[in-house]
Structure 1
Amino acid sequence: MTERIHLGKRVPEIYQAMSKLQAEVEKAAANAGVDQKILELVKMRASQINHCAFCLDMHSHEAVQQGESPRRLYVLQGWRETELFTEQERAALALTEAMTNVATLHDVPDDVYEEATRVFDETQYRAVAWEIIAINSWNRMCVTSHAPLPERAE
């Protein structure tokens, strides 16, 4: 794999701004009562779509540490085919897919938006949407930079 210029911590002002954005998104989600597990599923699903190994490694590890079931992470890509996910999780995953694939879809389909705003109040919807925006930014930075996986004991 070609070694790339790393866009992350080598530009500390921008990296710190992204980290601050992430912290604000998580704070808004907590204040809105969005379950942290939903945020981790959003991060995982966007990272799957964007093929971001660095983020998949990090967020699967964090999700399991927060009590997420490895089984649900294993089947996340096929979430529509299982009953393992709640109504809110399903709406968040559909919104994640639509927002992550907006260049192809050219919009978030009305049915996806309507379901998300049915199961989340306005403040929760905003927090979930901002999490999707944030993780897509992180994915693009890591994929473009070929961010290496950290050393981790198995």
Structure 2
Amino acid sequence: MTARTQFLDREVGQALSALSAAAKKGLGDPALAELVMIRASQLNHCAFCLDMHLTLARRNGESEQRLGLLAAWEEAGDLYDGRERAALALTEAVTVLTEGFVPDAVYERAAVHFADGELAHLVGVITVINSWNRLMVGRRVPPGGYTP
């Protein structure tokens, strides 16, 4: 598979980068933001974004065990705390919209662990990584091109 023509406008890239930074800053938990971005990228099959966010998570001290089991977080016991599990459930619900709207129970579960502002930023992180995933997959950008 070869990369397609560069069709990402510079302004669009800058706007998404700014949105990403604002959403992550408002969430206030960089490790959680990386887990969310990795999980969405797994669901969207975005190799470039997976490579990038796995690299960032490792650089920030995330364990290989947690990264390796992220795709099976629901079965991973206490490896992820309640806040992380709520964020991951919301990530999956917002990312996989083909199954319908985000269930109230999933949103309410997240609302237990996140204040209103944090929840808004969490949804922002999920939204922006889904946008990046679609841009990178649409362009067929291969993994390995990200350097921190």
Determine if the TM-score, normalized by the shorter chain, exceeds 0.5.
yes
Which of 110, 118, 124 lines up with 1:116 in the alignment?
Answer: 110
Partners of 1:41 and 1:7 in 2: CA distance = 28
Which of 124, 137, 140 lines up with 1:130 in the alignment?
Answer: 124
Report the TM-score, using the length of structure 2 for normalisation: 0.93
Q: Please list, as runs of the form range in 1=range in 2, the aligned pairs for 1:1-154 lying within 5 A after superposition.
A: 1-8=1-8, 11-30=9-28, 35-82=29-76, 83-102=78-97, 104-150=98-144
Partners of 1:152 and 1:121 in 2: CA distance = 33
Q: CA RMSD in A?
A: 1.5
Q: How many residues align?
A: 146
Partners of 1:4 and 1:12 in 2: CA distance = 16
Per-residue deviation, 1:17 = 1.1
User: Which structure would you say has the larger RCO, counting Cα contacts within 8 Å and 6 or more residues apart?
Assistant: 2
Partners of 2:58 and 2:145 in 1: CA distance = 17
Residues 69 and 123 (structure 1), Cα distance of their counterparts in 2 relative to 1, 3 Å cut = same
SS of corresponding position for 1:15:
helix
Identity across aligned pairs (percent)? 46
The superposition leaves residues 76-104 of structure 1 with CA deviations (integer Å, 9 ceiling, x where unpaired) of 010001120010000000000000011x1
Which runs of 5 or more residues in structure 1 are unaligned? none
Per-residue deviation, 1:131 = 0.2
Residues 146 and 152 (structure 1), Cα distance of their counterparts in 2 relative to 1, 3 Å cut = closer
Residues 62 and 3 (structure 1), Cα distance of their counterparts in 2 relative to 1, 3 Å cut = closer
Partners of 1:128 and 1:42 in 2: CA distance = 9
* Runs ≥4 residues deviating over 3 A: none
Report the TM-score, using the length of structure 1 for normalisation: 0.89
C-alpha contact (below 8 Å) 2:27/2:119 kept by paired residues:
no
C-alpha contact (below 8 Å) 1:6/1:146 kept by paired residues:
no
Partners of 1:86 and 1:3 in 2: CA distance = 38
